[in-house]
Structure formats: C-alpha cells, structure tokens
Amino acid sequence: MSNPILTVSALTVVFPDNNGGLRALDDISFEVCPQEFICVLGPSGSGKTTLLRVLAGLLPPSVGEVNFGDHQQPRIGMAFQQSNLMPWRTVLENVKLPLELAGAADAESRARELIDLVGLSGFEDNWPRDLSGGMAQRAALARALIHDPDLLLLDEPFGSLDALTRERMWSELSRIWQVRQKTVVMVTHSINESLFLADRVLVLSARPGRVKLDLKVDLPRPRNEDIRYTPHFGKLARKLKAAIE
C-alpha cells in the first residue's frame, strides 16, 4: 500500500463550556491513502462535522495532530449539506471562486470544463436562486473540485436532497471520483450511501466520538443500484448497523 496522504493521530477536540469542556472527539486515529474514498458514519452528535472541520483546518485540534504527508498546506475542496453558493455570483462565477482566490489565470475555461463534468452545461450564467437543490449541489461539487484539491471533504452533501435525486447524485459522485481520482473524506449518516460510495467506512460512536469500526468495503466497482440487493452488501450493512447502535 502507498504512503498515507493523511494521518490523524490521537485527535481530541474539546469545546470549552462551563462544565469542564465538551468532548466532541476522543482519541481518534486513522490513515487515509491517496485516492481513497472514506466515509465517516455515525449518529448525530458523534462529532462527524467537527472531524471534517479539523481536517479542513477550520478548527485546531485540542490534542493530537493531523498530518498531510509531504503536503504542508494541502489544498482543500469542501462541500456542505447546503450548497453554500454565493447568491450574488452566477453558477460560473461560483465555480470559479477557488481559482480566483488563488489567482489562477485559466479560471474561466477550467470552470466551464467542470460545469460540464457535473452536468450543468447551459446553466453557467444562471443565478443560484434559479437552481434546484440537486443542481445547486452539482455546482457546489464543481466548486469543490476546480482547484484540483489534495483532499475533498464532503459534509453530508446530499443530506438535503430528496431520495431520488440523492441516489442519482451517488452515481454521479462515484463517476466524478473515478474521473478525477481524488482522496475523499465524506461525512454521512446513511449506511446505504457509505456502502455505495466508500472504499472504507469509519464508524464513530456517540459523543464523545471514537472510532468504533474501520470497515473495508470490498464491493466491486462500478457499483450500481443492484449491488444493494447482493448478500455481501447486506452483510456489510448489518455490520455497520450493529456498530452504530
């Protein structure tokens, strides 16, 4: 196996409160290999989002550390439960944002290329208010990918979508992931979603979050709808379900 791109060791996050601090994450350690797709699964309040915020560099760890191999300052692409598009920018301008901030020259053409990849061609000049939930999430995904990030962090990106759109987005995401070859850490509370997408699933326990199970998902790719009805899928799902409860 290749060298890990991301090493999390003994990570603990404590939020200060009046009662000696709220322990959100407790002694979490894991490694992520390049181009691996990891899902972090757990009940609400298990610190999944906190973990993602630490990985994104938005929150310093209280104890322990996060190392990014030889990348000192990894490029991060992030997508959230809400699309978080800037309403005053068109789709194209939203997708361009990361390149603009980095001062890249060919922002326009790369943005058009990615908008095409996520299937939003023709909507470049629309305002976010004109997009459906699924379309907005596609745009957010394009924005998260455009600056060729070392690490893609997804925080329940399909949580606010309806079931049909969500399943369509799963296929889209795994297709894009195979084209772009990104390392992904995705937070979710859906067992199906994690088994459909991930190479590995980390199950966090309820607060404080600890790694309860590190499950390798050895389902063949590309995965489609039918894989959910295979006995192996069922076996893995039961394992995850047992770990969550």
Q: Are strands 211-216 and 200-204 parallel, antiparallel or unpaired?
A: antiparallel
Torsion of CA 104, 106, 112, 113, to 10 degrees: -100
57 binds another protein (CB under 8 A): yes
**Looking at this protein, which amino acid is placed at residue 238?**
R
- Nearest distance from residue 185's CB to another protein, in Å? 13
Among 73, 105, 220, 245, contact with another protein (rule: CB under 8 A): 73
CB-CB contact of 191 with 241 (8 Å):
yes
- Nearest distance from residue 102's CB to another protein, in Å? 8
- Nearest distance from residue 87's CB to another protein, in Å? 6
> Which stretch, 4-12, 85-93, 158-166, 186-194, contacts another protein (CB under 8 A)?
85-93
179 binds another protein (CB under 8 A): no
Query: Which of these, 64, 18, 39, 58, lies nearest to 213 by C-alpha position?
Result: 39
- Nearest distance from residue 174's CB to another protein, in Å? 23
14 binds another protein (CB under 8 A): no
The vertex-214 CA angle with 77 and 51, nearest 5°, equals 40
Site string for another protein, 149-178 (x = CB under 8 A): ----x-------------------------
Residues pairing with 211 in the sheet = 204
> Which stretch, 26-34, 87-95, 207-215, 235-243, contacts another protein (CB under 8 A)?
87-95
